């Protein structure tokens, strides 16, 4: 029975997002972040896929905390950049780059690309690893296009420069609930929460 799980991140916004989705689902599970547990050596994200990196982080968290662990890896794929930044999304402008620096680099790299060719997507993989070795991974995407400039104050990462399919505003202009409903991570996390519910019901 999963009553507590740890999300392998120090990102307060990701933690809030997961807690919000869990609460909205009615699932009674306490969600901790890495700042809520004893520190441990975190693995470098060396895998070549989002799924591989998510599993790497979740396995490490489960091993060190003894708790069911959830981890995600997500990123931006820009078609004219050969689907990059991909797994290097958080480090696109350098190992210690800020979100703003990453966004500026992407916009600079596509500054002369016509609107019709600015297609992109967010990709997310979410991995669950239990201390007994059980593993489950789900993934999802959010199709869209790159804006020409940063707009909006909400969200994080590349949200101010990404316009989801069917929208005419950036993700950073959406409310949290509106973004959760369509986002790659929101969809993947909801699928994982449903899976956790099934696991808990099987163990009753």
pLDDT digits (tens, 9 = 90+) for 69-118: 999 999 999 999 999 999 999 899 999 899 999 999 999 999 999 999 99
Q: Is pLDDT above 90 for 204?
A: no
Residue 156 is predicted with a pLDDT of 84
Q: Which region holds residue 86: left if phi is over 0, alpha if psi is between -120 and 50, else beta?
A: left
**% of the chain beyond a pLDDT of 90:** 78
What lies within 8 Å, CB to CB, of 56 at 6+ separation is 43, 45, 46, 47, 71
**33-37, 185-189, 197-201, range with greatest mean pLDDT:** 33-37
> What is the average pLDDT across 17-23?
87
Active site residue 79: no
Please check whether residue 183 is in contact with residue 167, taking contact to mean a CB–CB distance below 8 angstroms.
no
Mean pLDDT of the chain: 94
From 18-32, 77-91, 130-144, the region with the lowest mean pLDDT: 18-32
Q: Is pLDDT above 80 for 125?
A: yes
pLDDT tier for residue 176 given thresholds of 50, 70 and 90 = confident
Residue 185 is predicted with a pLDDT of 87
Q: How far is CA 187 from CA 149, 165, 181, 182, in A?
A: 26, 15, 7, 7
> What is the average pLDDT across 19-41?
91
Question: Which residue out of 35, 36, 72, 73 is catalytically annotated?
Answer: 73
**Rounded CA separation 166/146 (Å):** 13
**Rounded CA separation 96/4 (Å):** 32
Fold for the domain defined by 4-202? Maf protein (3.90.950)
> What is the average pLDDT across 106-133?
97
Residue 24 is predicted with a pLDDT of 85
Going from N- to C-terminal start, the domains of the chain cover 4-202
E strands, the chain, where?
4-7, 30-33, 69-78, 84-85, 119-129, 135-146, 162-164
Q: How many of the other CB atoms lie within 10 Å of CB of 133?
A: 8
């Amino acid at each position: 029975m999963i009553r507590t799980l740890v999300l392998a991140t120090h990102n307060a916004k990701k933690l809030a997002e997961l807690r919000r989705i869990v609460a909205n689902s009615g699932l009674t599970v306490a969600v901790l972040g890495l700042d809520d547990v004893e520190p441990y050596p975190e693995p470098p994200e060396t895998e070549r896929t989002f799924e591989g990196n998510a599993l790497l982080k979740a396995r490490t968290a489960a091993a060190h905390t003894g708790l069911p662990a959830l981890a995600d890896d997500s990123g931006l794929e820009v078609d004219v950049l050969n689907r990059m930044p991909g797994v290097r999304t958080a480090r696109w402008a350098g190992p210690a780059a800020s979100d703003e620096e990453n966004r500026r680099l992407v916009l600079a790299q596509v500054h002369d690309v016509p609107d019709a060719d600015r297609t992109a997507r967010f990709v997310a993989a979410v991995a669950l690893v239990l201390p007994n070795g059980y593993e489950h991974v789900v993934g999802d995407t959010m199709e869209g296009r790159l804006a020409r400039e940063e707009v909006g104050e909400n969200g994080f990462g590349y949200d101010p420069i990404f316009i989801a399919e069917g929208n005419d505003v950036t993700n950073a202009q959406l409310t949290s609930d509106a973004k959760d409903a369509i986002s790659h991570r929101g969809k993947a996390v909801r699928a994982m929460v449903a899976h956790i519910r099934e696991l808990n019901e099987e163990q009753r």
